[in-house]
């Protein structure tokens, strides 16, 4: 983990970042001191606080690496009353067919029983995220634009009631897979299940049409498994899809539940990669990123559920990167990164690089910078110019301890141009006009350039070398 020296120039006076709470129009120089030897476990430490507008020059090895402009956060919506867990959180951002932006957030329980149910708040912006208008209904925006002009999005239907279905014999019935609920689940080989239980569920907007349509795609994977809990089978196929260089589609998804060649269920969750050569109508197994605990980085590694909530992106040289969560009922766990040079068929050994992080999100900007957002506690942003060497984390929200619940930690990213993106996130400690604490959905515009392309204006008098 890197340690950072950070100093601010604000209103003509210099403050250490550990005491400064406001950073409006701050000019900031960050000096990265380098990566010390691995400790056990990776120590938890809050990142660099940039809660308000700030211009940042990020240095490594006495060289400027990034210039970053953090704009002031914009409030999209504030809850009108206290909300329980699951409500007014889990934001997502997408682009509507007319080019405007939509942010939607969850307004239902965070439970299997709510899968496939309506229940979201939404707002749209026609000016690139500066102002927002609340909407009564959400729209499907589509995460991927296909080479044929269709738009495609992964969908989650209501859990399938298997009580009246002819189910095969389970490979295993166990409570070991879920460290949160300890519920007993039965696991079945995918190919043995009824057809609807094998399918991949998607939403498609065909080129030239205006109505999104639900569809089922076929999934060919003889070693995959799905599970039932209390007679319900959730069709979960969550992750990212990207168009590869040859126009095929690659999806990196979880839960990746595997039945090995001996017919035994592999107990940990993994990330499976699938490829489609017919614009998403059928999918074939491409490769697997298997969970391997790094005990040196995470003393609880062998007790974890495995890899969940993967983020998958394609780097400019064609390399695939996958960043996965391991936080579970055992507490905060590290995020792991792995790389593939053969389109997801084989992967490097996953390496832990952070002490915490849920639902990582990756965004490859056209200027070459890779953006990573994650959270819990708080909300963090990291940047890499080479896809591998991460900056220190930048903190979007203040918190005091590792257990502080100041946000759900789920984020959404979208590029505005080659250098600029938006990050959307929840703030559980926002105070409304009546000084009442309410959940809020925030969005923030951030511009980042490689230092060689454009230097942020950092006054000489604000640059202070650390002792």
Query: Percentages helix, strand, coil for the chain, rounded to the nearest 5?
Result: 5, 45, 50
* Cα–Cα separations (whole angstroms), residue 291 to 6, 109, 270, 339, 350: 36, 29, 5, 14, 8
Global confidence as pTM: 0.91
- Token pair for 337: 């990164």
CA atoms within 13 A on the CB side of 371: 27
Q: Vertex 300, ends 393 and 176: CA angle to 5°?
A: 120
Cα–Cα nearest to 249, from 201, 224, 282: 282
Calculate the average pLDDT of the chain: 89
- Alpha-carbon distance 357 to 380, whole Å? 8
Tell me whether residue 466 is exposed, middle or buried, using C-beta atoms within 10 angstroms of its C-beta: 0 to 12, 13 to 18, 19 or more: exposed
Q: Three-state SS for 113?
A: helix
Q: What is the pLDDT of residues 385-422, one digit of tens each?
A: 999 999 999 999 999 999 999 999 999 999 999 999 99
Question: Residue 177's pLDDT is what?
Answer: 66
Domain spans in the chain, listed from the N-terminal domain onward: 29-450
Phi/psi of residue 258, nearest 5 degrees? -115, 135
Q: What is the mean pLDDT of residues 159-188?
A: 88
- Alpha-carbon distance 186 to 49, whole Å? 45
Q: Is the pLDDT of residue 21 over 80?
A: no
- Token pair for 287: 């490769």
For 258-269, letters b (16+ CB in 10 Å) and e give bbeeeeebbebb
More confident residue, 25 or 106: 106
Q: What is the pLDDT of residues 119-163, one digit of tens each?
A: 999 999 999 999 999 999 999 999 899 999 999 999 999 999 999
Contact by Cβ (8 Å): 456, 56? yes
Question: Residue 176's pLDDT is what?
Answer: 67
- Alpha-carbon distance 393 to 304, whole Å? 24
Question: Residue 291's pLDDT is what?
Answer: 98
CATH number for the region 29-450 comes to 2.120.10.10
Question: Residue 38's pLDDT is what?
Answer: 56
Q: Vertex 336, ends 238 and 397: CA angle to 5°?
A: 80
Q: Is the pLDDT of residue 25 over 80?
A: no
Question: Residue 357's pLDDT is what?
Answer: 97
Q: Is the pLDDT of residue 102 over 80?
A: yes
Question: Residue 338's pLDDT is what?
Answer: 98
CB atoms within 10 A of CB 238: 15
Q: How confident is the model at residue 180 (pLDDT cuts 50, 70, 90)?
A: confident
Q: How confident is the model at residue 17 (pLDDT cuts 50, 70, 90)?
A: very low
Q: Is the pLDDT of residue 221 over 80?
A: yes
Cα–Cα nearest to 30, from 53, 62, 76: 62
Question: Residue 34's pLDDT is what?
Answer: 53
196: enclosing H helix or E strand: helix 195-198
Q: How confident is the model at residue 26 (pLDDT cuts 50, 70, 90)?
A: low
Share of the chain above pLDDT 90, in %: 82
Question: Residue 452's pLDDT is what?
Answer: 63
Q: What is the mean pLDDT of residues 195-213?
A: 96
Q: What is the pLDDT of residues 337-386, one digit of tens each?
A: 999 999 999 999 999 999 999 999 999 999 999 999 999 999 999 999 99
Question: Residue 246's pLDDT is what?
Answer: 97
- Alpha-carbon distance 413 to 409, whole Å? 13
Q: Is the pLDDT of residue 457 over 70?
A: no
Q: What is the pLDDT of residues 48-93, one digit of tens each?
A: 999 999 999 999 988 999 999 999 999 999 999 999 999 999 999 9
More confident residue, 4 or 152: 152
Q: What is the pLDDT of residues 251-265, one digit of tens each?
A: 999 999 999 999 999
More confident residue, 39 or 427: 427
């Amino acid at each position: 983990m890197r340690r950072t020296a950070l100093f601010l120039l604000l209103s003509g006076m210099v403050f250490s970042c550990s005491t400064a709470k406001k950073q409006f129009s701050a000019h900031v120089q960050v000096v990265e001191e380098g990566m010390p030897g691995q400790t056990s476990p990776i120590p938890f430490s809050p990142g660099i606080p940039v809660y308000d507008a700030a211009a940042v020059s990020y240095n490594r090895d006495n060289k400027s690496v990034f210039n970053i402009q953090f704009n002031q956060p914009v409030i999209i919506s504030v809850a009108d009353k206290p909300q329980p867990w699951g409500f007014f959180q889990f934001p997502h951002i997408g682009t509507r067919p007319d080019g405007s932006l939509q942010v939607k957030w969850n307004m239902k329980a965070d439970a299997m029983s709510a899968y496939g149910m309506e229940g979201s708040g939404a707002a749209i912006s026609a000016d690139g995220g500066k102002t927002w208008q609340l909407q009564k209904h959400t729209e499907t925006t589509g995460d991927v634009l296909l080479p044929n002009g269709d738009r495609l999005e992964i969908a989650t239907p209501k859990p399938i009631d298997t009580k009246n279905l002819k189910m095969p014999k389970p490979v295993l019935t166990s409570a070991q897979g879920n460290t949160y609920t300890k519920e007993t689940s039965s696991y079945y080989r995918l190919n043995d299940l009824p057809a609807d239980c094998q399918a991949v569920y998607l939403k498609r907007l065909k080129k030239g049409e205006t109505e999104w349509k639900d569809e089922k795609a076929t999934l060919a994977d003889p070693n995959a498994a799905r599970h039932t809990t209390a007679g319900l089978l959730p069709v979960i196929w969550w992750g990212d899809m990207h168009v590869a260089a040859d126009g095929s589609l690659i999806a990196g998804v979880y839960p990746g539940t595997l039945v090995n060649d001996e017919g035994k269920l592999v107990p940990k969750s993994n990330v499976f990669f699938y490829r489609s050569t017919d614009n998403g109508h059928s999918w074939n197994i491409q490769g697997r990123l298997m969970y391997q605990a790094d005990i040196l980085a995470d003393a609880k590694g062998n007790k974890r559920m495995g890899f969940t909530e993967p983020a998958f992106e394609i780097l400019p040289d064609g390399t695939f990167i996958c960043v996965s969560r391991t936080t579970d009922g055992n507490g905060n766990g590290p995020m792991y990164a792995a790389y593939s040079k053969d389109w997801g068929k084989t992967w490097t050994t996953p390496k832990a690089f952070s002490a915490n992080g849920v639902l990582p999100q990756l965004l490859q900007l056209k200027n070459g910078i890779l953006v990573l957002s994650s959270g819990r506690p708080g909300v963090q942003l990291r940047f890499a110019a080479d896809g591998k060497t991460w900056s220190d984390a930048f903190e979007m929200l203040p918190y005091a301890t590792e257990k502080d619940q100041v946000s759900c930690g789920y984020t959404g990213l979208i590029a505005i141009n080659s250098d600029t993106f938006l990050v959307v996130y929840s703030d559980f400690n926002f105070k409304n006009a009546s000084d009442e604490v309410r959940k809020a959905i925030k969005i923030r515009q951030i511009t980042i350039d490689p230092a060689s392309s454009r230097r942020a204006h950092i006054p000489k008098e604000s640059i202070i070398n650390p002792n």
